[in-house]
Amino acid sequence: MNDARFECLLRLGDNALVLAQRLCAWIGHGPVMEEDMAQANVALDLIGQARLWLAYAGELEGRGRDEDALAYGRDAGAFRNVLLVEQPNGDYAQTIARQFLFDAWHHAELSALTASSDARIAAIAAKALKEVSYHLERSSDWMLRLGDGTAESHARLQAALERLWMYSGELFDADAHDATLVEQGIVPAPQSLRAGWLQQVGAVCTAATLTMPDADAWMQHGGRQGRHSEHLGYLLAEMQFLPRAYPGVQW
Amino acid sequence: MKDWPLWEVFIRSQHGLAHKHVGSVHAPDAALALKNARDVYTRRNEGVSIWVVPSAAITASAPDDKAALFEPAQDKIYRHPTFFPVPEEVKHM
Amino acid sequence: MYAQMVDTGASRLRSREEMDADEQAFQARIDDGQKIEAQDWMPEGYRRTLVRQISQHAHSEIVGMLPEGNWITRAPSLKRKAILLAKVQDEAGHGLYLYSAAETLGVSREQLVDDLHTGRAKYSSIFNYPTLTWADIGAIGWLVDGAAIMNQIPLCRCSYGPYSRAMVRVCKEESFHQRQGYDLLLALCRGSEEQKAMAQDALERWWWPALMMFGPPDADSVHSAQSQAWKIKLLSNDELRQKFVDQTVPQAEYLGLRVPDADLRWNTERGHYDFGAIDWSEFHAVLKGNGPCNRERLQARREAWAEGEWVRAAALAYADKHAAAERHSQAA
């Protein structure tokens, strides 16, 4: 029973951690300094959330692994984040599109999790939801500005959307762990969030003069089960190198 | 390309005081100005409310008018309660 | 400190009698401890010097994000990652407070940024040194931020209102920066032999550049004299440097680290530490663009700005379109 919950917490924690790690690379290199500030705030929120989810995962597991042991001690195959968040930053359009597609799902997921039968999950979700509401507002703002800005920004964002689209389907995948947890009222059924997500993404795309890709297009799967893209290995190599070079010490 | 316009930022602190000028941000429009102000000026719980105003929309008094504008108030000392001695016996006024 | 060798445009400090009536009144206000505000009359030299100094300070914050930013993705724990990210984000914030103060003097952000990218404006020499290990992040917080705070606290009292208010804000936030650096090094010094060696190596590489941050001895500098008269520089470079050494040496001892200066010793008579001669040829070489990372730092800022251009343009285009639509709907 705890296996499923452990998996679910890793998924939540790894999504936040991997996306934060991606955003960290923007700091000092953003298109305008105000955006560096904003991206840093989003990344800080996500690191905070990752710590809460992973710490809980470690406790449930009961093998003495804390947030850092989980973040720094697992290889790519043991990471449970969706493929979407590990996609490279690309240009600012790709970063914004990735953020928006994720935020829209993240917001719906956390909203549902506030009613989780696991009180601790519900509490973490309630805290994270406030942060993610702001993330979603901001990424929506930028979808509009890039989509309905100049011809160049429109083309870039449309391309980014099409490029990332095949990673969006996985957000609504369900496996045996999900089935167990749904039955226990711990998590929402992933598919139950899809219609609302499609509607929201569609509305923002329309307002941003973008064409939303086909909802039934071919989708990639596997991140939630530990089958990742090539990108995650490099991301982890960078993130984990110090604790791996100097094992067993405190920082 | 021109700069994003400048916006003046005013923040109401948590202590229920009036909004106070804290600085400025650049933003392309009002909605992002508000968000940029939030991200730049309230990282440490500094505020509960933000105003942003296009810097160009502020009309300021000229320093040269300082004497004409403000000095006339200086000799109206009877407007201050301390101008009036209150007899020792009359407490709390 | 973040502003080094700021040119005041003065060839010598003029006496009161040589000033015209406006300048005399201006100097009298400064001597009286009054704050100068953006709209007040000010000598052109004062305005230009302030623009140089404040923007140099702002550029230092922004360029200073890069050496530390290097390590955000490699921080060894999630707690350290969050702390470092928050710290680097603060640097961006400080840069913005300072650009905002400089803009009150009638220059645009675009102009200031352009001056940085074309090499017309300077930034602190310290950020041209590389961050090679995680311990360097500790050394920057402890030494570089420590040196910066030493300079910034007096600047809270400087004569230009917007600058002094920005400094108050910066100082309030900055004390966390120095402490997080020291805390990071403390963890290393209490850790394994390898970690301690990493900390010692960082101190050896950052010590002298940190002392150079205060700038060359300014006893004979006409610019310093003018800046002090205008109260936009409140203590001399050497005074600040001595203060820094006096404060920092015991902190190094507590860490169990050795300061890389054979001539360093406590002078009972002076009540201060004596320290060895600084290699100013290195300082001037770095300032001229020949430090280990000058090219990389500027290149990174130029690229960020150039690659961001289409993003900034898009947001403006969107704002224009929607403002026009709003006017149209109001008219209808």
* Tens of pLDDT, residues A36-94: 999 999 999 999 999 999 999 999 999 999 999 999 999 999 999 999 999 999 999 99
Alpha carbon of A34: minimum distance to chain B alpha carbons (Å): 6
Q: Is A203 a domain residue? A: yes
The yes-or-no verdict on residue B61 having pLDDT over 50 is yes
Query: Per residue in A130-160, pLDDT tens?
Result: 999 999 999 999 999 999 999 999 999 999 9
CATH number at residue B56: 3.10.20.520
Amino acid symbol at B39 = D
Max CA pair span of chain A? 54
**A133 at interface of B, judged by CB pairs closer than 8 A:** no
pLDDT of residue C328: 78
pLDDT of residue C330: 73
Q: Is B34 a domain residue? A: yes
All residues of chain B having their beta carbon less than 8 Å from the beta carbon of residue C83 are: none
Alpha carbon of B3: minimum distance to chain C alpha carbons (Å): 6
pLDDT of residue A1: 46
Q: Is A193 a domain residue? A: yes
Instruction: Choose among A76, A75, A74: nearest CA to A57.
Output: A74
C172 Cβ contact partners less than 8 Å away, ≥ 6 residues apart: none
Number of independent structural domains in chain A: 1
* Radius of gyration, alpha carbons of chain B: 21
For residue A239, give the nearest of C73, C79, C89 by CB distance: C73
For residue A31, give the nearest of C74, C81, C311 by CB distance: C311
**C316 at interface of B, judged by CB pairs closer than 8 A:** yes
pTM above 0.90, yes or no: yes
For residue C95, give the nearest of A24, A33, A149 by CB distance: A33
Number of independent structural domains in chain B: 1
Q: Which two tokens stand for residue A250?
A: 């405190």
Residue % of chain A over a pLDDT of 70: 100
Q: Are C173 and C94 in contact (CB under 8 A)?
A: yes
Q: Is B71 a domain residue? A: no
**Strand arrangement, sheet containing B6-12:** B20-26, B6-12, B49-54
pLDDT band of residue B67 (cuts 50, 70, 90) is confident
Residue % of chain C over a pLDDT of 70: 98
Which residue pairs, CB below 8 angstroms and at least 24 apart, start in C316-320? C316/A149, C316/B1, C316/B2, C316/B4, C316/B28, C317/A149, C317/A150, C317/A153, C318/A144, C318/A145, C318/A148, C318/A149, C318/B28, C318/B29, C319/A145, C319/B28, C319/B29
CATH number at residue A31: 1.20.1260.10
Alpha carbon of A85: minimum distance to chain C alpha carbons (Å): 15
Name the DSSP class of C14: P
Distance in angstroms (rounded) separating the CA atoms of residues C215 and C192: 36
By C-alpha distance, the chain A residue nearest B34 is A138
pLDDT of residue B1: 63
Amino acid symbol at A44 = L
Parallel, antiparallel or unpaired: strands B20-26 and C272-274: unpaired
Query: Per residue in C29-45, pLDDT tens?
Result: 999 999 999 989 999 99
Q: Which two tokens stand for residue A237?
A: 């190599």
Q: Is A251 a domain residue? A: no
With vertex at residue C216, the alpha carbon angle to CA C265 and CA C56, rounded to the nearest 5 degrees, is 125
pLDDT of residue B15: 74
Q: Are C243 and C213 in contact (CB under 8 A)?
A: no
All residues of chain C having their beta carbon less than 8 Å from the beta carbon of residue B23 are: 96-97, 100-101, 165-166, 169
Determine whether the interchain pair A250/C187 forms a contact, defined as Cβ–Cβ distance below 8 Å: yes
The yes-or-no verdict on residue C1 having pLDDT over 60 is no
Domains of chain C: 16-291 (1.20.1260.10)
Amino acid symbol at B24 = S
Neighbours of C27 (CB within 10 A): 17
**B80 at interface of C, judged by CB pairs closer than 8 A:** no
Residue % of chain A over a pLDDT of 90: 99
Query: Per residue in C172-198, pLDDT tens?
Result: 888 889 999 999 999 999 999 999 999
Average pLDDT over residues C149-165: 94
Q: Is A20 a domain residue? A: yes
pLDDT band of residue A191 (cuts 50, 70, 90) is very high
pLDDT of residue C332: 62
Query: Per residue in C303-312, pLDDT tens?
Result: 999 999 999 9
* Half-sphere exposure at residue C242, Cβ-oriented, CA atoms within 13 angstroms: 13
Query: Per residue in C76-124, pLDDT tens?
Result: 999 999 999 999 999 999 999 999 999 999 999 999 999 999 999 999 9
The yes-or-no verdict on residue B91 having pLDDT over 80 is no
Instruction: Choose among A178, A135, A133, A130: nearest CA to A20.
Output: A135
ipTM of the complex: 0.97
Name the DSSP class of B75: T
For residue C315, give the nearest of A21, A149, A249 by CB distance: A149
Domain interval for residue B15: 6-60
The yes-or-no verdict on residue B74 having pLDDT over 90 is no
Distance in angstroms (rounded) separating the CA atoms of residues C162 and A71: 44
Alpha carbon of B4: minimum distance to chain C alpha carbons (Å): 7
Q: Is B13 a domain residue? A: yes
Q: Which residue has the tokens 């470079």?
A: C237
Interface probe, candidates B1, B7, B24, B45, chain C, greatest C C-beta count within 10 A: B24
Mark out the alpha helices in chain A (DSSP H runs): 2-24, 33-61, 67-73, 83-86, 92-113, 119-147, 151-165, 176-183, 194-207, 231-245
All residues of chain A having their beta carbon less than 8 Å from the beta carbon of residue C88 are: 27-28, 40
Q: Which residues pair with A32 in a beta bridge?
A: none
* Radius of gyration, alpha carbons of chain C: 22
Distance in angstroms (rounded) separating the CA atoms of residues A150 and C150: 46
Q: Are C306 and A31 in contact (CB under 8 A)?
A: no
Distances, alpha carbon A129 to alpha carbons A94, A136, A193, A208, C127, in Å: 24, 10, 15, 25, 38
Q: Is B53 a domain residue? A: yes
pLDDT band of residue C329 (cuts 50, 70, 90) is confident
Instruction: Choose among A10, A1, A3, A116: nearest CA to A61.
Output: A3
Q: Are C134 and C198 in contact (CB under 8 A)?
A: yes
The yes-or-no verdict on residue B31 having pLDDT over 50 is yes
Q: Is A166 a domain residue? A: yes
The sign of the dihedral angle between the CA atoms of A164, A165, A166, A171 is positive
For residue A40, give the nearest of C89, C305, C321 by CB distance: C89
Q: Is B85 a domain residue? A: no
**A225 at interface of B, judged by CB pairs closer than 8 A:** no
Q: Which residue has the tokens 């094992």?
A: A247
Domain interval for residue A43: 3-214+221-245
The yes-or-no verdict on residue B46 having pLDDT over 50 is yes
pLDDT of residue C223: 80
